[in-house]
């Protein structure tokens, strides 16, 4: 009698769903701020800053989609967005707080994703 290996459908669980929603909402929020008519435009940022933030926002949204569809590249895209934001933040403000404020969410999302890594392709 041979045993047939059954594939269980992976369950995200509340923490993973919350992490993915956080990534998506952060991307949408940054997208709204970058595209909106707001006070950010009156700040004296370099000309490249807002277009770069648009790219980061789109990367966050793509990363959330990848994570939701169980693609490991979603985490890598989120890592890339994190690195870009750190570089942009340091270039525009010179503050290490920008780096810290982006590394912590990435570390938390990564910590939540890693136990379920076997389900990601």
Cβ(63)–Cβ(23) under 8 Å? yes
| Residues making up the chain, counted from first to last | 121
* 102 domain-assigned: yes
- Count the domains in the chain: 1
Name the helix (H) or strand (E) containing 31. Answer: helix 13-35
* 1 domain-assigned: no
- What is the tens place of the pLDDT at every residue in 103-116? 899 999 999 999 99
Computed on alpha carbons and rounded to an integer, the radius of gyration of the chain in Å comes to 17
* 8 domain-assigned: no
* 2 domain-assigned: no
What Å distances lie between residue 106 and 20, 30, 43, CA to CA? 11, 16, 27
pTM: 0.82
Structure confidence at residue 81 as a pLDDT band (50, 70, 90): very high
* 24 domain-assigned: yes
- Tell me the mean pLDDT in the region 34-42: 68
Expressed as residue numbers, the domain containing 105 is 13-36+45-119
* 74 domain-assigned: yes
């Amino acid at each position: 009698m041979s045993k047939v290996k059954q594939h269980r459908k992976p369950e995200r669980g509340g923490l993973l769903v919350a992490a993915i929603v956080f990534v998506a909402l952060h991307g949408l929020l940054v997208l709204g701020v970058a595209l909106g008519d707001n006070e950010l435009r009156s700040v004296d940022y370099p000309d490249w800053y807002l277009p770069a933030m648009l790219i980061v926002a789109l990367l966050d949204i793509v990363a959330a989609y990848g994570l939701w569809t169980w693609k490991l590249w979603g985490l890598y895209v989120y890592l890339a967005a994190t690195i870009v934001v750190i570089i942009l933040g340091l270039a525009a403000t010179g503050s290490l707080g920008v780096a810290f404020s982006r590394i912590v969410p990435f570390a938390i999302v990564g910590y939540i994703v890693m136990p379920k890594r076997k389900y990601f392709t």
